[in-house]
Amino acid sequence: MKTTAPKRVVIKLGTGVLTSGIGQLNTERIAALAAGVAGLRAAGTEVIVVSSGAVGLGMGRLGLKKKPADVSKKQACAAIGQSLLMQIWQRGFDPHGLTAAQVLLTHEDLRGRDRHLGVKACIEELIAYGTIPVINENDTVSAAEIKFGDNDTLSAMVASLTGAQHLLILSTAPGLIDMKGTGQIVPVVEKITPEIEAMAGGTTDITATGGMISKITAAKLAVRAGCGVFIASGAETDIIARLLGGTGPGTFFVPSGIPLDAKKRWIAYFQRPTGGIQINARAVPVLMDEGRSLLAIGVTGVTGSFSEGDIVNILAPDGKILARGVATFDSHQVKAIAGKTSDEVKPLYPGRKRFEVVHRDNLVLLT
């Protein structure tokens, strides 16, 4: 399929693409990928790189044969490998007169609205200076509660954050393979269905994380933001230009027709909800079909503990997550007003101007 030159792309590169064995750099491939990035920049396309490899490079420098199970040891590998990774990218960009700019992130950097906007502004400034932002998870300090989980997810968040037109996820996988059908690469996915998700599998690579499952999850996030996603092998010759020119082997995930606006993307994908609000069957079509706010009369209960202003899941009667939004009341208050009409709620909170449990402007549907 033929595509027009995008204004901005995010390119995610897996550890297996950049190395050939633990800590052994594939310098020829890195040079080729850097040349591909330079080609896009010369054509006027802005490029952001999300690069794995720091932990693997650190393992190689320390002579480790498998990824440590201990968190502090993984962090030590990342600390050693991160500087090596940036040196590699800068050497790759030097022949093209490009400057690499390191950006290390944790999930916490994108959760808080002020820090979220600060990261976005920093990346925009780096692009304006003509540099290539090279982004990686800050594994040196990341702990379970602030990790993205994998760089596929991180790349999708970066694509959403920066309004990229395309996300290229390049790894050792040639694309999404129809293992239960033809056994061939699925060239185009117009909608990510349960059948498409069933085609995904994990990874057995000792330096990698996630596999095709994480790539499908990342694609779901990115296409909702209006970003087209390619999954392809980073070992293919001139793969970046071929994918964007419509001739490269791989799988293309078609973006949603109506992308979420920036604030709703932040609510939907950059947060870890602190609790949930359960609703009754009558409230489901009010939210899903009519696009209205969630009122107390539609609430049946809460899960977890949350404060006013926290992000919460909105749960159908069967427990399925339907939506996500910003709570107007804390969990104790929501529990107390559940099932009440607005006229019954208003006397309980004199001075309040709004009585929606979750206002429609702060609510985003996930199904």
Torsions phi, psi of 205, nearest 5? -70, 135
pLDDT for res 201:
61
49 CB neighbour count, 10 Å cutoff: 25
For domain 8-260, say whether CATH 3.40.1160.10 is its number.
yes
Residue 212 annotated as part of some ligand binding site? yes
Same fold, 8-260 and 273-365: no
Residue 83 annotated as part of some ligand binding site? no
What is the helix (H) or strand (E) element at residue 102, kind and residue range? strand 100-105
Residue 293 annotated as part of some ligand binding site? no
Residue 86 annotated as part of some ligand binding site? no
pLDDT for res 203:
42
Residue 284: exposed, middle, or buried by beta-carbon count in 10 A (0-12, 13-18, 19+)?
A: middle
273-365: which CATH topology? 2.30.130
What three-state secondary structure class fits 103?
strand
Quickly list H helices, 26-106: 27-42, 54-62, 71-93
Largest Cα–Cα distance in the chain?
71
Q: By the 8 A CB rule, do 236 and 248 touch?
A: yes
- pLDDT digits (tens), the chain, 367 positions: 444 678 999 999 988 888 876 667 788 899 999 999 999 999 999 999 999 888 888 888 998 888 888 888 988 998 999 999 999 999 999 999 999 999 999 888 887 788 889 999 999 999 999 999 999 988 887 655 435 557 898 999 999 999 999 999 998 889 998 877 677 888 889 888 888 888 876 444 433 445 788 899 999 999 988 899 999 999 999 999 999 988 888 999 998 877 777 788 878 877 778 899 999 999 999 999 999 999 999 999 999 999 999 999 999 999 999 999 999 999 999 999 999 999 999 999 998 888 999 999 999 998 7
The two beta strands, 321-326 and 363-365, are: antiparallel
The whole-angstrom separation of Cα 229 and Cα 85 is 25
pLDDT for res 239:
93
The whole-angstrom separation of Cα 35 and Cα 43 is 12
Residue 151 annotated as part of some ligand binding site? yes
Residue 277 annotated as part of some ligand binding site? no
The whole-angstrom separation of Cα 200 and Cα 213 is 5
pLDDT for res 140:
80
Residue 67 annotated as part of some ligand binding site? no
pLDDT for res 208:
40
Which distant-in-sequence residues (6+ apart) come within 8 Å of 44 by Cβ?
A: 5
Domain borders along the chain are: 8-260, 273-365
Q: By the 8 A CB rule, do 302 and 265 touch?
A: no
pLDDT for res 2:
44
What is the helix (H) or strand (E) element at residue 265, kind and residue range? helix 262-269
Q: Which of 218, 177, 232, 217 is nearest to 199 (CA)?
A: 177
Residue 196 annotated as part of some ligand binding site? no
Residue 210 annotated as part of some ligand binding site? yes
